[in-house]
Amino acid sequence: MVLSNPFKSLFGRFSIWIALVTALVVLLLFLLANGIVKAETERQIRSAVDTDIAGLADIYVSGGQGELAERIRDRIAMTRTGGASDYYLLADGSGTPIEGNLAKWPALSSENSEASVLSLAGKGQIFARATQLAPDLKLVVGWNLDSREALLVKLRIAFLVAGLAIVMLVVGLGFWSTRRLRGRLASINAAFRRVGQGQFDTPVDIDNRGDELDELSRHTNEMVSRVINLVNAHKDISDHTAHELRTPLMHLDNRLVTAMNDIVEPDQKIGLINARTDIKNIIALLDSLLDIASSRAQKGDRTGLSECDVSVIAEGIAELFSESAGDLGIDFSTDITPGVSMMANPAHLQRILSNLLDNAFKYTPEGGTVKMMVRPGPTITVSDNGPGIADDMRTKVFERFVRIDAGGAKGHGLGLALSQALAERNGLFIRCYDAKPGAVFEISPERGD
């Protein structure tokens, strides 16, 4: 699975960090090499200038000013070889030029044998040193730095080309490696995704490289196999329990029907009728418990879900409850936005809405109001103006066997628990709020919190 944003991928961020670190290393190496080359060439230039000045000083001592001027002319006329410099100026004590190719005396102290980098108009930069040959005679020798700058430019180009090549190579290798790793992890994530959707038939491929991902793949397959065994065991137990309990209860109910036909005493018949009612309640209780367990086991499983029109379903349920509302003296109204749809099991939505409306009708006294609204999202609300639900009970009412005694309503306390389980099966969640007065039950897409 390729992510459009590399910063959202662990491997994308890893590749970017590798590229940045590589570029930083190349930059540091360039700065180091540039500094070394610059320092070494400066040292060589200083040495060459100092050597040249020493040689000219010897010529002055042995041959005098005339010989020195002649040698300076020779050096200026020839191309630099053997350590010769580029610029010379022999001047008197006031700085007036005597011989050389510099127009004027630079800002250097000959008495202190000062050296510095100078900028000459139209000639670039030179490294020059001045020296005092005699009280009324001084000399400056300069070396053009163009060759050093040219060398540094070549060094920068070489590092730029080599650095880009290295970064591209490292990024390419990193991308290739992380793509392989991401592909292997994607297969593991896909396996977990299939398990979450209730699909257990496709194991994770093992590359047999002997690394940690192979170990993770094996553990994933072992976990999936274990989950399959647990799911099958749960299904077998549920089916077996349902069969073993429902069948004898149905037989018992049939025997009571037979016994009622043989009994003529009204009191005894009433007792048998009550017994049959208890049997039916037990069967309904068993079915609800099994439905809750099955729905929770299938939470996140998208199989069996289809695009359905929530508005149409809500309108159908509202039509069924409208007649009951009239009989109970309850003002029942709806506000349904047309065309609201979602991926869900239509039968589950019908049962959820039926449970919530039935619960609202139970706790709403005669003359009260019940309202159902449907909005895009989808968001479904069922509200009433009955006695309401206490703050500390608004989450507990969704637990099994929890009942609100207000209004004398009877039941097993499984209706809201089953509704919540069915809602979660379809990616929804039910929340309870205070209607001031009464209660509001809101069905909306399940949030991460």
Express each pLDDT in 301-328 by its tens digit.
Answer: 566 678 999 999 999 999 989 988 888 8
Of residues 401 and 319, more confidently modeled: 319
CATH topology of domain 306-445: Heat Shock Protein 90 (3.30.565)
Structure confidence at residue 372 (pLDDT): 94
Q: How confident is the model at residue 418 (pLDDT cuts 50, 70, 90)?
A: confident
Cβ-contact 407, 387 below 8 angstroms: yes
Structure confidence at residue 1 (pLDDT): 42
Mean pLDDT across the chain: 79
Structure confidence at residue 213 (pLDDT): 73
Write the pLDDT tens digit of every residue in 266-307: 777 777 777 777 677 666 666 656 666 666 565 655 666 789
C-alpha to C-alpha distance for 361 and 327, rounded to whole angstroms: 11
C-alpha to C-alpha distance for 150 and 195, rounded to whole angstroms: 66
- Specify the amino acid at residue 111: E
What are the residues whose beta carbons fall under 8 Å from the beta carbon of 309, sequence distance 6 or more?
A: 339, 340, 341
pTM: 0.47
User: Where is average pLDDT lowest: 107-121, 251-265, 412-426?
Assistant: 251-265
Q: How confident is the model at residue 189 (pLDDT cuts 50, 70, 90)?
A: confident
User: Where is average pLDDT lowest: 191-195, 247-251, 291-295, 360-364?
Assistant: 291-295
C-alpha to C-alpha distance for 77 and 62, rounded to whole angstroms: 22
End-to-end CA distance of the chain: 26
C-alpha to C-alpha distance for 387 and 369, rounded to whole angstroms: 12
- Residue 447 token pair: 């949030």
Check pLDDT > 90 for residue 440.
yes
Structure confidence at residue 292 (pLDDT): 62
Cβ-contact 375, 314 below 8 angstroms: no
> Measuring CA to CA, how many Å separate 292 from each of 27, 149, 200?
64, 82, 22
Domain 38-148 sits in CATH 3.30.1490.190 = no
Structure confidence at residue 3 (pLDDT): 45
- Residue 270 token pair: 């009433």
In the chain, % of residues over pLDDT 70: 79
Check pLDDT > 50 for residue 83.
no
User: Where is average pLDDT lowest: 130-134, 142-146, 379-383?
Assistant: 142-146
- Specify the amino acid at residue 426: N
Of residues 159 and 409, more confidently modeled: 159
Kindly write down the DSSP assignment for every residue of 163-218, as one continuous string. HHHHHHHHHHHHHHHHHHHHHHHHHHHHHHHHHHTT--S-PPP-----SHHHHHHH
Count helices and strands in the chain by DSSP H and E runs:
7, 12
Cβ-contact 110, 139 below 8 angstroms: yes
User: Mean of the pLDDT values across residues 177-202?
Assistant: 71
In the chain, % of residues over pLDDT 90: 20
Structure confidence at residue 2 (pLDDT): 42
User: Mean of the pLDDT values across residues 59-74?
Assistant: 91
Q: In what order do the strands lie in the sheet with 369-375?
A: 331-336, 369-375, 379-384, 439-445, 428-434
Check pLDDT > 60 for residue 449.
no
How far from chain centre, in Å, is Cα 309? 33
- Specify the amino acid at residue 24: L
Of residues 307 and 225, more confidently modeled: 307
Q: How confident is the model at residue 59 (pLDDT cuts 50, 70, 90)?
A: very high
Q: How confident is the model at residue 399 (pLDDT cuts 50, 70, 90)?
A: confident
Structure confidence at residue 287 (pLDDT): 63
Structure confidence at residue 4 (pLDDT): 46
User: Mean of the pLDDT values across residues 256-273?
Assistant: 74
Check pLDDT > 60 for residue 36.
yes
What Rg, from alpha-carbon coordinates, does the chain have?
47
Of residues 220 and 138, more confidently modeled: 138
